[in-house]
Structure 1
Amino acid sequence: MPDEAPVPPGIDASTPNAARMYNYYLGGKDNFAVDRAAAEQVLKVAPEARELARQNRAFMRRAIQHVMAETGIRQFIDIGTGLPTEGNVHEIVHARDPDAAIVYVDNDPVVLAHARAILSRTPRTTTIRGDLRRPIDILNNPELRDLIDFSQPVAILLVAVLHFLTDDDKPGEVIARLRDSLAPGSHLILSHVTADERAYAAQQGAAVYRKASASITLRHRQQIMELFDGFELIPPGLVKLHDWRPDEDSAFATYRGRELPTWFYCGVGRIRD
């Protein structure tokens, strides 16, 4: 998205956008100069951010593959999906089962425009507008209901999104409302930033997001663990991104020869039968 390109209607190119910043970390092109400038501020205090973004995507891939292989789940709702990039949920899922259903949910007009354009001809996949703070509206969306059968297990993805909810947004209650709508055997795939290590640098990075489209709430491990209330955490539990069932592509994550600090925790929870 070069700077000289026309800005689509309804798109704010003057304020850093969290989804476009993440796209920049991943090496994408769907971002403006203001997003790149803000992302570079984060990279100054957390130079590992690019690698962490890649590790977060890799965790998501492994978690989806595990859920499909071990449970037979073929329905996925990805809330706060972000800008489409390589290794999207539908690509991972449809590589194993082309008939599986995927619903992407986001409230960002940039994300919605890109996702709908890319997915317009992708079967068993749709994109809807929805705000995680209003989970019932998401669950009752007729387009989602056309694809998702709530009498059968579903996997909900909340990957790198809950830290954009403040404590006043009551993320635990949001997840509880989602959980209570799901059939036994359903799964929650979650990752969340933390300030458990390098707290000062984490706070500096979070300060950049306070001037962007969405601020970040840093939470400690126990607070993130509480978000899995009502779910049974499957092994290895709540861990660093690269410690969740690593494969040969993610067995040991480093940046400049040193192990990555714990900027993220991640886990997969299951509703008991």
Structure 2
Amino acid sequence: MTSIDDLRPEVPHAARIWNYWMGGTDNFAAARAAGDAVAEVYPEIVAMARHSRRFLIRVVRHLNGEAGVQQFLDIGTGLPTMQNTHEVAPGARVVYVDNDPLVLEHARQLMTATDRVVHVHADYHEPERILDEARKVLDFGQPIGVMFMGVLGYEPDLTVVKSIVDRVMAAVPAGSFLVLWDGTNTTPAVVEGAERLANSGGVPYVLRSPEEIDGLFAGLEPVEPGLVQLTGWRPDGDAEWLDAYGAVATKR
């Protein structure tokens, strides 16, 4: 059992800040303070957090329902709030990856209910370890939906980010998909929000240009409509402006 000391509630961990922005309750005062500091100068962050989950839901429904993907590797999953990958794709096998012990504690409860959903306590900087663990659950002879959802900005070096993505995608078979979104440096307000996050004790987050995010899909075949703002990917409502871009692409 994880103790409160293990959880380090005084640290504004990313998963807990995002849980707060998304209206969840699995967070501590430090995370709420960091979240409020960002929202003070960039209130759109709350909409971004909630639209990011709606993007996940639309993508997973498409991959599971239309493309027939029955396996997902969700790297940097965060804490449960709205519908999660295994709930959007019932019957699919899902490997979640996160490095927050609070996420792991939730995962332990989830794993008592199903054997098709597994959580790996790891950092995305160790992709080979993640892949080794995923192979215990997923069939690497069949297509896999690989997901990096708003997490890659925690690595400041874009070359390292590209290496991580490439190493994971090299391991999955043809017919697999990469799903990726990230915050972008497209307005002064979001840049100020990122500065507030770092100044409040949160892990600094590097905002990149849409062109830099697009480069992470190099060598893959984009799924229509390609790289767009999150609300513009097969929208289910008004296309609200967001400083966040995402796409889906397949490995041929």
Shorter-chain TM band: over 0.9
Give the match for residue 194 of structure 1: 184
In 1, the alpha carbon distance for the partners of 2:145 and 2:10 equals: 36
Structure 1 residues not aligned, in runs of 5+: 1-5, 254-258
In 2, the alpha carbon distance for the partners of 1:205 and 1:7 equals: 32
Aligned residues: 250
Give the match for residue 243 of structure 2: 263
Aligned 1:211-250 pairs, distance under 5 A: 211-247=200-236
Q: Deviations over 1:140-178 (max 9, x none)?
A: 12xx22210111110001111111121167100111101
Structure 2 residues not aligned, in runs of 5+: none
Q: Decide which of 117, 120, 135 is 2:112's aligned counterpart.
A: 120
Secondary structure, aligned partner of 1:10: helix
Does 1:183 find its partner at 2:163?
no
The residue identity in structure 2 corresponding to 1:82 is: G
Aligned 1:62-141 pairs, distance under 5 A: 62-94=58-90, 98=91, 100-141=92-133
Secondary structure, aligned partner of 2:95: strand
In 2, the alpha carbon distance for the partners of 1:7 and 1:178 equals: 32
Secondary structure, aligned partner of 1:158: strand
In 2, the alpha carbon distance for the partners of 1:26 and 1:18 equals: 12
Q: Alpha carbon RMSD of aligned pairs, Å?
A: 1.7
Equivalent residues of 1:7, 1:13 under 8 A apart: no
In 2, the alpha carbon distance for the partners of 1:223 and 1:110 equals: 31
The residue identity in structure 1 corresponding to 2:180 is: L
The residue identity in structure 2 corresponding to 1:215 is: P
State the Cα distance separating 1:119 from its structure 2 match.
Answer: 3.4
Q: Decide which of 222, 238, 247 is 1:252's aligned counterpart.
A: 238
State the Cα distance separating 1:123 from its structure 2 match.
Answer: 3.3
State the Cα distance separating 1:241 from its structure 2 match.
Answer: 0.8
Give the match for residue 194 of structure 2: 206
TM-aligned CA distance change 1:168 to 1:232, over 3 Å: closer
In 2, the alpha carbon distance for the partners of 1:10 and 1:213 equals: 18
Equivalent residues of 2:55, 2:233 under 8 A apart: yes
Q: Deviations over 1:128-151 (max 9, x none)?
A: 11111111111012xx22210111
Q: Deviations over 1:213-240 (max 9, x none)?
A: 5220110011000111121111101001
Aligned 1:144-155 pairs, distance under 5 A: 144-155=134-145
Q: Deviations over 1:97-132 (max 9, x none)?
A: x2x200111111121112222332123111111111
Divergent runs of 4+, >4 A: none
Q: Deviations over 1:193-224 (max 9, x none)?
A: 0012x22x222211233243522011001100
Secondary structure, aligned partner of 1:29: coil
TM-aligned CA distance change 1:78 to 1:84, over 3 Å: same
Give the match for residue 256 of structure 1: none
Secondary structure, aligned partner of 1:146: coil
Equivalent residues of 1:18, 1:212 under 8 A apart: no
In 2, the alpha carbon distance for the partners of 1:271 and 1:113 equals: 33
TM-aligned CA distance change 1:140 to 1:123, over 3 Å: closer
State the Cα distance separating 1:7 from its structure 2 match.
Answer: 6.4
In 1, the alpha carbon distance for the partners of 2:116 and 2:110 equals: 14
In 2, the alpha carbon distance for the partners of 1:182 and 1:271 equals: 9
Equivalent residues of 1:59, 1:244 under 8 A apart: yes
